[in-house]
Amino acid sequence: GKKVLQAAAKSVKRTHLELGGKAPVIVFDDADLGAVVNGLRAFGYYNAGQDCTAACRIYAGKKIYDKLVADLSSAVSTIKYNQPDDTENEIGPLIS
């Protein structure tokens, strides 16, 4: 990352460095699970999950853990993906 930024700085090129950030999510026992699930479904998979702010780890209270896993699994299973030109896709293709 440092070498790329140094090279770009010489010619004042704009850069966006993805340096492997992590975005843990902490869910307390009194959280609004519906809001948590909706947020994780939307933002955990934004940009096909290839984003430094995509949820990569979820820590949940013991009292709500099982329900959170069940509800999130159900919500994520409805994410639409297909051929890259399908306009109903919620997740686009990945470049690796």
pLDDT of residue 96: 63
Number of domains forming the structure of the chain: 1
Of 52, 56, 88, 90, the active-site residue reads 52
| Spatial distance between the Cα atoms of 20 and 7, rounded to a whole number of angstroms | 20
Task: Provide the b/e sequence for 14-41 (b: ≥16 CB within 10 Å).
Answer: eeeeeeeeeeeeebeeeeeeeebbeebb
Confirm whether 38 is domain-assigned: yes
Both tokens assigned to 23: 């975005």
Confirm whether 16 is domain-assigned: no
Q: Where in the sequence is the domain holding 34, given as residue range(s)?
A: 21-76
* Contact present, 26 and 59 (Cβ < 8 Å): yes
Confirm whether 36 is domain-assigned: yes
Of 18, 56, 88, 90, the active-site residue reads 18
Which pLDDT tens digits describe the chain residue by residue (96 residues)?
Answer: 688 888 888 888 888 776 766 788 999 999 999 999 999 998 888 777 777 778 888 999 999 999 999 999 999 999 988 888 888 888 877 776
Based on the residue annotation, tell me whether 90 is a catalytic residue of this protein: no
**Quick one: DSSP state of residue 24?**
E
